[in-house]
Amino acid sequence: MLKKDKGICIRTTDYSESSQILTFFTAQNGKLSVIAKGAKKPKSSFSGPIELCTAGDMVFSLRDGEKLGTLTEFNPTFFGFTLRKKLFALNCGFFACELLNLFTKELDPHPTMFNEAVLFLQRLEESPDNKILPFLILFQFALLSEAGSKPLCDCCVNCKKKFANNWREFFFSSSGNGLVCRDCESAFIDKKKISGECAKCLNQSAKISNCDNKVLVEMQNLLIEYITHILERPMRTAPMILKLMNVLK
Ligand SMILES: [Zn+2]
């Protein structure tokens, strides 16, 4: 039976001379892998290979118990033509695709996260490279939250002392999953001293849109470290994000 859904292409693999195996993050079916037969032929029904970060309406078949479906139609509604011309935006798009792939399970729907991902792609398309970092950080918070892995930032993870702007020093521990106060930091080998501004933004994500680039870079470094800890493996797209965000002004 044919099914319809909306999806974002988050992984592509060449399969034979002319076909692709694609993973989509879809609105109603969650993560879904399909074969797009003949997609690489110039005159295929998909009008050329499907690229990462492309979103659109899809028609596919998937038998019960099977892991790989067959894509029969794909009508792109978002190509990301502008984001593909911007180095940082494009790499943030790839980074988001990798995160979505790593944090979601096959056929486990997360419609809210799907909307967040579409919104993020639109922001990448519309914003200049030097305005993207807050959106990237908010996207990661949304994803971590949806996956139940958001760090605890409203109190010290150890003694539960409520977060306050007047703490004299602020620490973050990936293994402890959140903020750590000065009295407890010695118990966490991997703790990192962070700036007060960074701690405030972790505590209240609404502040992220207004903070300066230095703090955003600090937060993004911390998030990559934290996500790597959760996944227990490095992300393939992370080194490029770290490299590019340091040269943005
Ligand atoms: Zn404490």
Instruction: Tell me, in angstroms, the distance from the centre of ligand 1 to residue 230's CA.
Output: 22
At 234, list the tokens.
Answer: 């490095």
Residue 61: inside a domain: yes
Q: Encode pLDDT of 46-97 as tens digits.
A: 878 999 999 999 999 999 889 999 999 999 999 999 999 999 999 999 999 9
- Separation CA 133–CA 137 (nearest Å): 6
Residue 73: inside a domain: yes
Residue 236: inside a domain: no
Provide the CATH number for the domain around residue 65: 2.40.50.140
Instruction: Tell me, in angstroms, the distance from the centre of ligand 1 to residue 199's CA.
Output: 14
| For residues 169-177, average pLDDT | 97
Residue 54: inside a domain: yes
Residue 130: inside a domain: no
- Separation CA 102–CA 110 (nearest Å): 14
Instruction: Tell me, in angstroms, the distance from the centre of ligand 1 to residue 207's CA.
Output: 23
Q: Which residue has the tokens 């079916």?
A: 29
- Residues of the domain holding 40: 1-79
Q: Encode pLDDT of 116-133 as tens digits.
A: 999 999 999 999 999 999
- In this prediction, residue 167 carries a pLDDT of 95
Residue 234: inside a domain: no
Confidence of residue 181 (pLDDT cuts 50, 70, 90): very high
- In this prediction, residue 249 carries a pLDDT of 65
Instruction: Tell me, in angstroms, the distance from the centre of ligand 1 to residue 193's CA.
Output: 14
SS3 content of the chain, % helix, strand, coil (to 5): 40, 25, 35
Instruction: Tell me, in angstroms, the distance from the centre of ligand 1 to residue 161's CA.
Output: 6
Q: Indicate if the pLDDT at residue 248 is higher than 90.
A: no
The per-residue DSSP string of 185-241 comes to: GGG-TT-EEE-HHHHHHHH-GGGGGGS-HHHHHHHHHHHHHHHHHHHTS--TTHHHH
Q: Which residue has the tokens 């992300």?
A: 235
Instruction: Tell me, in angstroms, the distance from the centre of ligand 1 to residue 147's CA.
Output: 25
Q: What's the number of domains the chain is made of?
A: 1
Residue with more model confidence, 38 or 47: 38
Instruction: Tell me, in angstroms, the distance from the centre of ligand 1 to residue 143's CA.
Output: 27
Residue 25: inside a domain: yes
Q: Indicate if the pLDDT at residue 233 is higher than 90.
A: yes
Residue 97: inside a domain: no
CA-nearest of 11, 99, 86, 18 to 53 is 11
